Amino acid sequence: MSKPPHLRYPPLPATQTGLRGRCPRCGQGRLFDGFLNTAKTCEVCGLDFEFIDSGDGPAVFIIMIVGFLVVGAALAVEVTFTPPIWLHLVLWTPLTLGLSIGMLRPLKGLMIAQQYKQSAQEGRLGE
């Protein structure tokens, strides 16, 4: 007789599975099929990824984190060195794009893993 799924797969930390882009249940299968597209199911444990709805959560956190870092660094450089505006554009545009794109997939995976761990579902009224 087979064990139920919640006994076969011990709970894994959302940071361990989400940031690596792995299945939140087994930690082995790939969560993504492409750069940001999520897979239909886990190829290892068969978890259906239909529950996934990260929405704009990862983008909001990235805007806050990258904005804080880049604006802080730009202000420090401006006060210390007073460079021309073109140098600010050359410095901060690639840094902003690189940090934003680089953080998007890990943070989306983390949000999905947290959603799975907390059994988050769409809100319902009167049911």
- Tens of pLDDT, residue by residue over 44-77, are 999 999 888 888 999 999 999 999 999 999 999 9
Per the structure, the count of domains in the chain is: 1
Instruction: Tell whether 61 is covered by a domain.
Output: yes
Domain membership flag for residue 81: yes
- Distance between CA atoms of 79 and 60, rounded to whole angstroms? 28
Does residue 127 lie in a domain region? no
Q: Residue 5 in contact with residue 77, Cβ under 8 Å? A: no
Pick 55 or 108 by higher pLDDT.
Answer: 108
Strand (E) or helix (H) holding 28: none
| C-alpha closest to that of 109 among 47, 34, 21 | 21
Is 124 inside any structural domain? no
Q: Is residue 21 part of a domain?
A: yes
Residue 92 lies in a domain: yes
Q: Which domain holds residue 24?
A: 5-117
Q: Does residue 63 fall inside a structural domain? A: yes
